[in-house]
Homo-oligomer: A and B are copies of this chain.
């Protein structure tokens, strides 16, 4: 079978529906034709700087109309966007640029510290600020009129339990199949409009951009999530669908008070872990149709989604796998689990990423192409998925993934720390927040540890509380038993007196 090709998404979309609204941002609207023209112009400027097909090009940009334009410009010339989380420290970003061998860094001027660090530490990366890019003269770029579904479109870093971030290779086909699977589930209306208040550098945001192009659908971009603006734009921009995590949804509900969203709003796509019962109940009472969903960077966004008709009957379930995808649960003994038996969630489908940058293509996969998520869950007798635990130790804080091993690595590099363990604890605002357990080697206090971590880790990863203990609970093979750390914390988030 030959590798399937489709027309370059933006070129095709601009041909099909040039006059439809593509993107709205801060009251500025671009039609698909205008979006194409701006992206084409930007592609020419990128080409002038030497950006070209297959080059890894790091992108450090906030949510903005310009960001959509730059990402689509990269697609027009076939360059691969390495999506940098703007909340990372300069140190973390330098690591990802090195790992991806990025040839360019496209960044807003405001990320001065990172830009300086990159310039100083990686001579092979050419830094082009957005401001400078837009002033660059235009050179006619070589447009990629057809993309192979197997071509890498974007790279996003995630960490595993080992703590080493890995670049997930997302192809055009991954994005395509993800968008199609979602459309077959949610339907597709001419008046659809998707609000993106999640970061474009995350798959949750990037996938909205891709759907906008594939569907010919208006997308509203917000720079940051704000519940007031969200409600306002759902009304004024006639938003029909929005992607949220629980913390965002809770703030929207608080802000709404006794109000309702307009009837045209038809889908609140809720990711980032199972939602608490009271939140779902409030949504039911306010007639907000919540679609709970399960997905990850490696599945190019949602892979399992629950329709609202089941949101009460199957409370807590993430739903069923989208049409092109499959899931199964592997029990401890390696066989497929029975209904209600817990095990590792493994997934399969053409939306599952091609692999990890610099890793063997079968890494994380077993026979038949099944991808092992590391998450724990079970299926009921009707095939509804219940996710019980994300990657055993993954902490999800305000929609951001935190990998304890990565934080522990930083804490252990402090000269006065002998041993460190990190877990997530429940938090009303963020869902979870990271806390650390430290065994001291020499004298050090909580603030010193936190300040040390702040210089090396994105703010959301920095432990919000430090517990000093005598020894970490480890099993026979010296593996940290995080469950025991969790047991040490009472409901008041204080250590039991025996451990204080």
Smallest CB gap from A190: residue in B: B187
Contact string, A1-30, partner B, CB cutoff 8 A, digits 1/0?
111111100001101100000000000000
Identify which of B1, B190, B325 contacts A3 (C-beta below 8 A).
Answer: B1
Smallest CB gap from A171: residue in B: B1
Shortest beta-carbon distance from A176 to chain B in Å: 8
Bound form: Cα–Cα A184–B16 in Å: 11
A100 at the interface (CB under 8 A from B): no
Shortest beta-carbon distance from A263 to chain B in Å: 15
A16-B323, A187-B190, A320-B16 in contact; A150/B350 too (CB < 8 A)? no
Please state if B326 and A216 are interface contacts (CB–CB under 8 Å): no
A467 at the interface (CB under 8 A from B): no
> Interface size of A by Cβ–Cβ distance < 8 Å?
35
Bound form: Cα–Cα A473–B264 in Å: 64
A398 at the interface (CB under 8 A from B): no
Shortest beta-carbon distance from A325 to chain B in Å: 8
Bound form: Cα–Cα A166–B493 in Å: 74
Please state if B12 and A150 are interface contacts (CB–CB under 8 Å): no
Shortest beta-carbon distance from A294 to chain B in Å: 15
Which residues of chain B have C-beta atoms less than 8 A from A332's C-beta?
A: none
> What is the total number of copies of this protein in its complex?
2
A146 at the interface (CB under 8 A from B): yes
Bound form: Cα–Cα A184–B325 in Å: 19
A460 at the interface (CB under 8 A from B): no
Please state if A6 and B323 are interface contacts (CB–CB under 8 Å): yes
Bound form: Cα–Cα A428–B3 in Å: 45
Bound form: Cα–Cα A27–B12 in Å: 42
Bound form: Cα–Cα A16–B4 in Å: 27
Shortest beta-carbon distance from A361 to chain B in Å: 10
A2-B369, A188-B188, A369-B2 in contact; A15/B320 too (CB < 8 A)? yes
Please state if B350 and A4 are interface contacts (CB–CB under 8 Å): yes
A184-B216, A188-B188, A350-B4 in contact; A383/B15 too (CB < 8 A)? yes
A364 at the interface (CB under 8 A from B): no
Please state if B323 and A214 are interface contacts (CB–CB under 8 Å): yes
A180 at the interface (CB under 8 A from B): yes
Bound form: Cα–Cα A369–B5 in Å: 10
Which residues of chain B have C-beta atoms less than 8 A from A323's C-beta?
A: 6-7, 12-13, 16, 214
Bound form: Cα–Cα A224–B369 in Å: 45
Smallest CB gap from A2: residue in B: B369
A479 at the interface (CB under 8 A from B): no
Which residues of chain B have C-beta atoms less than 8 A from A188's C-beta?
A: 183-184, 187-188
Which residues of chain B have C-beta atoms less than 8 A from A350's C-beta?
A: 4-6
Please state if B383 and A6 are interface contacts (CB–CB under 8 Å): no
A430 at the interface (CB under 8 A from B): no
Smallest CB gap from A361: residue in B: B2
A215 at the interface (CB under 8 A from B): yes
Smallest CB gap from A350: residue in B: B4
Shortest beta-carbon distance from A243 to chain B in Å: 19
Smallest CB gap from A17: residue in B: B307
27 residue pairs A–B, Cβ–Cβ below 8 Å = A1-B1, A1-B3, A1-B149, A2-B369, A4-B350, A5-B348, A5-B350, A6-B323, A6-B349, A6-B350, A7-B323, A7-B324, A7-B325, A13-B323, A15-B320, A15-B383, A16-B320, A180-B184, A183-B183, A183-B184, A184-B188, A184-B214, A184-B215, A187-B187, A187-B188, A187-B190, A189-B189
Residues of A in contact with B (beta carbons under 8 Å apart):
1-7, 12-13, 15-16, 146, 149-150, 173, 180, 183-184, 187-190, 214-216, 320, 323-326, 348-350, 369, 383
Nearest 6 A/B pairs, CB to CB:
A1-B150, A4-B350, A188-B188, A187-B188, A1-B3, A6-B324
Beyond A146-B326, A187-B189, 20 extra complex contacts between A and B, CB < 8 Å: A1-B1, A1-B3, A1-B150, A4-B173, A5-B348, A5-B350, A5-B369, A6-B323, A6-B324, A6-B349, A7-B324, A13-B323, A15-B320, A16-B320, A16-B323, A184-B215, A184-B216, A187-B188, A187-B190, A188-B188
